[in-house]
């Protein structure tokens, strides 16, 4: 069996483990940047076999320069997406940030707020609990 048979090459910047939606960059990020073992990776992604994880690692080891460039491109794309999300957050995220700024991070306050909201009661937060 050829190593490439373990993968679906969807485009130049999208290589997936055959039969899954998991890209090799996910496995290689865990292996290269987080120093995780193949067993650890399989534990985190139970839909993958140990053989598939080793295939991705072997593919990387076979041509480190090419695959490192592929992973670097993926990391750059992820950073760009994160910057876009931070500069244009979803309305729900904006609301959540407002609630946290208004009420703080105490989980018991949020349980109380949910209960009051369900009952239709007026919502207020004691100053000492924020």
Residue ranges of domains in the chain, CATH in brackets: 3-87 (1.10.10.10), 91-120 (no CATH)
The pLDDT, as a whole number, for residue 123 is 57
Inter-CA distances, 70 with 88, 91, 107, Å: 27, 33, 41
pLDDT tens column, 4-49: 999 999 998 899 999 999 999 999 999 998 999 999 999 999 999 9
Q: What average pLDDT does the structure give for the chain?
A: 86
**Chain position carrying tokens 């999300």:** 85
Lowest mean pLDDT among 19-28, 55-64, 75-84: 75-84
Closest CA to 13 of 5, 23, 1: 23
Is 60 exceeded by the pLDDT of residue 50?
yes
- Convert 60-76 to b/e letters by CB count within 10 Å (16 or more is b): beeeeeebeebbeebee
Q: Which two tokens stand for residue 27?
A: 């496995």
Q: Which two tokens stand for residue 14?
A: 């999208």
Q: Using H for helix, E for strand and C for coil, what is the string for 80-106? A: HHHHHHHHCCCHHHHHHHHHHHHHCCC
């Amino acid at each position: 069996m050829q190593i490439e048979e373990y993968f679906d090459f969807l485009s130049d910047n999208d290589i997936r483990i055959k039969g899954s939606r998991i890209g090799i960059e996910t496995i290689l990020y865990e292996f290269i940047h987080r120093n995780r073992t193949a067993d650890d990776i399989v534990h985190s992604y139970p839909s993958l076999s140990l053989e598939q994880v080793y295939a991705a690692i072997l593919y990387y080891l076979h041509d480190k320069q090419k695959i490192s460039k592929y992973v670097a491109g993926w990391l750059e794309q992820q950073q760009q997406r994160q910057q876009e999300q931070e500069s244009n957050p979803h309305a729900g995220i904006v609301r959540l940030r407002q609630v946290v700024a208004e009420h703080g991070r105490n989980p018991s306050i949020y349980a109380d707020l949910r209960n009051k909201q369900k009952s239709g009661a007026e919502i207020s937060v004691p100053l000492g609990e924020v």
